[in-house]
Each structure stands twice: as structure tokens, then as C-alpha cells.
Structure 1
Amino acid sequence: MNSGSAELAEKVLVILKTFLHGNNSFEISNLISNKLLQILQDTMIASDSQAEKTLPSILTILCLLQQKSQPKIVLDGTYFKLFYNVNNISGKSSLRSENILQPALNFLYCSIHLTSTTCKVRATAVILSNTSLLELIEEIMEKTWDTAQNEFSESLCCSAWLMTSALMIFQQCYNLQVHRTVQVDVNNLVEFISFKFKDTSFLLIVSILQHLKALLKQKFSSPFIKLEHRNHPRPEPPDAVWPLTTQSTRYLVAALQNLLVQKDTLLLQTTIDCFGSLLDFLHDKAPDLARHVASLPWNRSVLLVSLSCKANDYLQPGVLRLISLFVKYESLNVLTLDEINQLIDEAAHLKMIDLSQTALLDLQIFLLQIQNKHIELEPARKAVIEDLLKNIDSIPMDFMSTSILYVNGTAICLTDTAE
């Protein structure tokens, strides 16, 4: 490809990006995708200098095509070859190649989320076998703690944390082979959330919370993650909640409580799920500590701040899910029986068909928790709960649907942040 052709190709890519940004037709995107992918493959095998110049635009277009293909993409022959090439190019990149790495990680991250189970397993296995890419991701994650690296891309750090979280989850889910572990310092992770969240963008906090949530769910025993404890050697005998400590757990809970009163929906949902995973982890390792954390008086203040005087305010994203956590751990000093009765009475007057799928799911979780905990209720309210659950079951909901949101150039899967 000569310089004139390269310049023309770059202009075509810019026009195509503009077109895709303004076009929401799945049919049009699907129509051009196969031909476009073949053309892009030809461009990628051009000279290194030309590829470095055009790859950012190419990868951005691929990400746009993925968005148009939601909720599912098919990793067919052409697409998978391109996925394989992007995976290899990412591993050969350097930390200085942010303009390539950011869209490449977005593309790979979306590819393992927006596809069928069979394709997801195959794609995740390919990334897990790319040891050079995993090494690069580990280096990017390490930049999070380096305060001297103020100019390093925060968006790239977010993508690295989100990618590692996804790989951790899918590796366990599908029992995939681990070719290289990714090292994470637990103390840095917990201290960052506990003490630096006020000076950090919400997206980076969301990304790191997502990683912590995955670690908690796997009881800090993922074969894909190598845990480090710099400056904090393992005590003898170890704390019951190791690699956490009782003190670090208190700091972490206080930070999560502060984050729970933030108004950003994405941050709120991630924090609630992380708080729930923390309580589950503590309940497994130290039940008394879990009950103590769930019953802290400050939790009630957090809940009251989350609510306002508006009707049905508990249906705000995440609020009912938070209430369900307190029901699960029987924290009646945080949520009284009278308040539970009031929520049931208000729910009885809702029109289920008018609620969002998220609100329906949160309401269903709340009602099931009440049933599971055998809370003392009047027969009439028990009947209301049964009727509400039947009504919710009658409404078609796609719990497995996946949605990708782009925030400041970083792709994030919403089903990862709000399970």
C-alpha cells in the first residue's frame, strides 16, 4: 500500500466511523461487516508503520460494529481470524501504544461478552494463552498504584482491570487452562478502595471494585490470579478472613458505605454487588463478623440517604437490591419489620408491566429473600408476595442479555456490574 493509497484509506475510515456513529440500523451494520472485516484484515498485514497508523481507526470501527451487533455477535471464520489478529497485535504492543491498546482491549473485552457460550469459551481461551498480552495487562494494572505516573492513561488502567476480572470469571466458569497468572497486590487493592476513592474517577473505582468482587466470589483462590502481600506478610496464625484482616475489612466496609451514597448509577450498582460479595465472603469465613458488618448502625444512615420522599423511591436502581442484602442477613436494626411491611404494601399497588427489567429483577430478589428468611408476616402479606412473584414470572425477561456501555472510551459490560 503506497502513501497515496494509505492516505485515502485513512479518510475512508474516518468517513465510515462517522457513518456508523450516526446510524443505528443493525441490518446496515450487518450488511457491511463481513466485507469490511476482510478489508481490514488486508490492511493489518501491511507494513508495521502503516498498520500502526491505521490500526486505531480500524479497531474503533470494529468496536462500533460490535455495538450495532448487540446483544450477540457471531465469531464466525472471518470475525474469529480478525479477533485472533487483534489478540496477537495487542500482545506485541507496548505501554506507549495507548492509541492501539485502548480500542484493542475494548474489542477483545466486547468479543468475550457479546457472543454465544461456545464462542465465549474459545475466545477466552485464546486470550488466556497470550502470555505476552497478560504480562502487558499486569504492567498496566500496576500503573494504578504508581502516583508518579500521572500522565498514564486512566482509561487504559480501567480496561486492564475489567479485562482481568472478566478473564477470572470465565476461566473459573468454563474451567479453562491457565498459561500465565496475573499478579495482584491485595494490600494495594484494598488500600486504594479504602483511602483513595475520593481522589479517583468513578470509572476506575468501578473497575477495581469489579475486580475485588470477582476475587471475593472466588474466595481469593482463582488459579488465574497470583496474590501478593507486599509489606504485609501472612500472620501466624492467619486471620480468619485472610488475605483480608479484621482491620482492613473495617476500612473497606467504611469505604463501601461512603460509595453507597453516591448518585452515579453505575458506581452504586457495582458497590452494592461488591458489598454483597464481601458479606458472603465474611459469612463463609467469619459468620460473626459478617453479621456485625451487616448490622452496623451506619448502614441505616446509608439506606435513608439512598431514599427520598418520592413515592416508590426504593425502585431506584440498586436501592431495593441493597435492602435485600439487609433482609438476607436479618439486619432488623437497619430495616425494621414495619418498613418491610410497608414495602410489600407499596409493591402490591405497582403495575408490573410498567417496571424496567432491572426493577423487576430487584423486586423479585427482595421478595424471595423475605420468603427464604421466613420473616413473620401476616397471611395477607404472604399472599401478596406470592401473587407478586407469579406476576413477575409471567413477564418475559432476558436475564442473560448483555449490554456494553462506553464511558470515556472504555467499554464496560453492565451485566458485570449489576448481576
Structure 2
Amino acid sequence: VHQTLSVDLTEVLNVVIFRNKKPILLLVSIMQFLRATLQQNFSSSLLVIVGQNTAASATQPQPSSLQDIALHPLAMQQVFSLIVSLQNLLVHKDLLLSQAVVACLETIVEYLYVKNQDLALHVVSQPWHRFLLFTLLSGGQKSFLQPEVLRLITLFVRYQSRNIISQKEISQIIYEAAEANIAELPEATSCALHLFLSEV
């Protein structure tokens, strides 16, 4: 019997946005679900996505901005709230959580770029990303050769966010990579480094 599952997108997003003391595995699972639905453009024969104010709009249509229309079923405010929340999660420096967060950020930006290139470029060029990088590099391991740092920087390089990552810092990463014993790097770091080098 063919069945479909309805999911309230706002409720799913709120698990991450309002994440007070949520278990890490739950957050990781939600982010993997978000990645899958974004990659499928919220289109599935098995899944019905209920968007923001869907029930209310059936009787009282709500005015939407052009950005919201382009991003449907997401709203621009949801996107910004989600990105800020993901950045905050990244600061916790939990390996499993960090990998899920960066992967989710990558997928969100890819989705935005397809829907609205100007908005995607605006999101990745926000100065708070640079502050996030400084925060990630301020701990005990200050090397750029951390998988979550490399993947974030790769994202900024891919979308040419020169105000976030400078040529000097790119050169520093290449220098650290040249000095490192690649064979001894963890697999996650090695893969992230390969992606970075393919973009520069």
C-alpha cells in the first residue's frame, strides 16, 4: 500500500533553532534529514512537506516576500535563524556534530544558490563567518588542518567570499598541508583538504 508521511518543516527546523539541551544524535539526525530534503528540493513521492503557515494560509493568505517565494517552502527568516543556530552548534567542537553541521551548511548554501544566487552570496559573505573561524581556531588546536575548518573555508572559497578568507590565509593552509605528513592525517581531514585544494 502506497503511503505518504507528512512532516511539518517549521517543527523540524525549530528542533535545531531552539535546541535547548537536545541530544547530539537527535540534532545530527535532524540535520541529515534536512540535507536529504534540501538535496531533493523538498520533492518526494513518500514525503509531504508542510511549510510555514500552510494551514493558516489556506483560509487567510499571507503576503510573502520575493525571497520567501523563491525559497518556498522555506522562509528567509528561517534560513537565517537556522544558519546562526548551526554556527553556534559548531563552536561546541564535537566531531560528530561538527561534521553534520558543516555538511548541512554546505547543502543550505547550495540550495540557496540554485534558488537565489544573490541571497546565497549574501549569506556566505556575512562577517560573522569570519568571527566563527577565529573562534574555531582559538582553541588548543590552532591549525587550519581541522576538517570542519577546512570544509568551512572551502565553502567560502567556492563562493568567493574574500572578506571571510584572505589569500594570505589560503597560502597558510597550503603551507601547513605541504608541511604535514598527508599519510598520517585523519581520513576526515584528508578528504576536507582534498576538497579545499580542488577549489583553489
- Is TM more than 0.5 here? yes
Q: Distance in 2 between matches of 1:312 and 1:361?
A: 19
For 1:208 and 1:250, the matched residues in 2 are separated by: 17
Q: 2:25 aligns with which of 189, 195, 203?
A: 203
Which residue does the alignment assign to 2:144? 314
Aligned to 2:7: 184
* Farther-moved stretch of structure 1 (286-295 vs 350-359): 350-359
Q: Distance in 2 between matches of 1:224 and 1:313?
A: 44
The answer (yes or no) to whether the contact 1:186–1:228 under 8 Å persists in 2 is yes
The residue aligned with 2:173 is: 343
SS at match of 2:71: coil
Report the secondary structure of 2:20's partner residue: helix
- Aligned with 2:49: secondary structure? strand
- CA distance in structure 1 between the partners assigned to 2:193 and 2:52 by the alignment: 43
Distance 1:271 1:355 in 2: 21
- Report the residue type matching 1:229 in the other structure: G
Q: Measure the CA separation in 2 of the matches of 1:302 and 1:314.
A: 13
CA shift in 2, pair 1:352/1:183, >3 Å? same
Aligned equivalent of 1:231 = 53
Provide the C-alpha distance between the structure 2 equivalents of 1:188 and 1:310, rounded to a whole number of angstroms: 36
1:220 partner letter: F
Give 1:63-102 correspondences, 5 Å limit: none
| Structure 1 counterpart of 2:192, from 359, 362, 377 | 362
Paired position in structure 2 for 1:220: 42
Q: Which amino acid counterpart does residue 314 of structure 1 have in structure 2?
A: F
Which whole-Å CA distance do the structure 2 matches of 1:309 and 1:227 have between them?
40
Superposition RMSD on alpha carbons, in Å? 1.9
- C-alpha displacement of 1:249: 1.2
Could you tell me how far apart the structure 1 residues matched to 2:147 and 2:162 are? 22
Hey, what's the Cα distance between the residues in 1 that align with 2:31 and 2:69? 22
Q: Which amino acid aligns with 1:322?
A: L
TM-score (norm 1): 0.44
How many pairs align?
A: 192
Give the deviation of 1:308 after TM superposition: 3.1
> How many angstroms apart in 2 are the aligned matches of 1:282 and 1:337?
25
Q: CA deviation at 1:230?
A: 6.0
CA displacement, residues 250-269 of structure 1 (integer Å, 9 cap, x when unaligned): 11111111112112111110
Q: Which amino acid aligns with 2:71?
A: V
Against the structure 1 CA distance between its residues 203 and 275, is the aligned structure 2 distance closer, same or farther, given a 3 Å change threshold? Answer: same
Instruction: For residue 70 of structure 2, give the secondary structure of its aligned residue in structure 1.
Output: coil
Instruction: Note the alpha carbon deviations across 1:155-211, whole angstroms, 9 max, x for none.
Output: xxxxxxxxxxxxxxxxxxxxxxxx3222111111122221x2133121111111110
* Residue among 83, 96, 100 paired with 1:266: 96
Q: Aligned partner of 2:3: which letter?
A: R
Structure with greater contact order relative to length (CA < 8 Å, sep ≥ 6): 2
Alpha-carbon contact 1:314-1:320 (below 8 Å) kept: yes
Q: C-alpha distance in 1, partners of 2:181/2:31?
A: 34
- How far is 1:313 from its partner? 2.2
Name the residue aligned to 2:16.
Answer: 193
Native 8 Å contact 2:98 2:148 kept in 1: yes
| Residue correspondence of structure 1 range 130-209 to structure 2 within 5 A | 179-194=2-17, 196-209=18-31
Give, in whole Å, the separation in 2 of the partners of 1:212 and 1:352. 33
TM-score w.r.t. structure 2 length? 0.88
Distance 1:306 1:230, change over 3 A: closer
Q: What is the Cα deviation at residue 334 of structure 1?
A: 0.9
The answer to whether the 8 A contact 1:312-1:346 is kept is no
The unaligned stretches of length 5 or more in structure 1 are 1-130, 132-178, 371-419
- Post-superposition shift, 1:242? 0.6
Per-residue displacement from partner, 1:2-52 (whole Å, max 9, x unpaired)? xxxxxxxxxxxxxxxxxxxxxxxxxxxxxxxxxxxxxxxxxxxxxxxxxxx
Whether the 8 Å contact between 2:52 and 2:74 is mirrored in structure 1 is no
Q: Percent identity?
A: 39
Cα deviation for residue 236 of structure 1 reads 6.2
3-state SS of the aligned residue for 1:332? coil
Query: Which sections of structure 2, spanning at least 5 residues, go unmatched?
Result: none
Structure label with greater radius of gyration? 1
Question: Is 1:301 aligned to 2:118, yes or no?
Answer: no
Are residue 334 (structure 1) and residue 155 (structure 2) matched? no
Alpha carbons of 1:262 and 1:311: their partners in 2 closer, same or farther (altered >3 Å)? closer
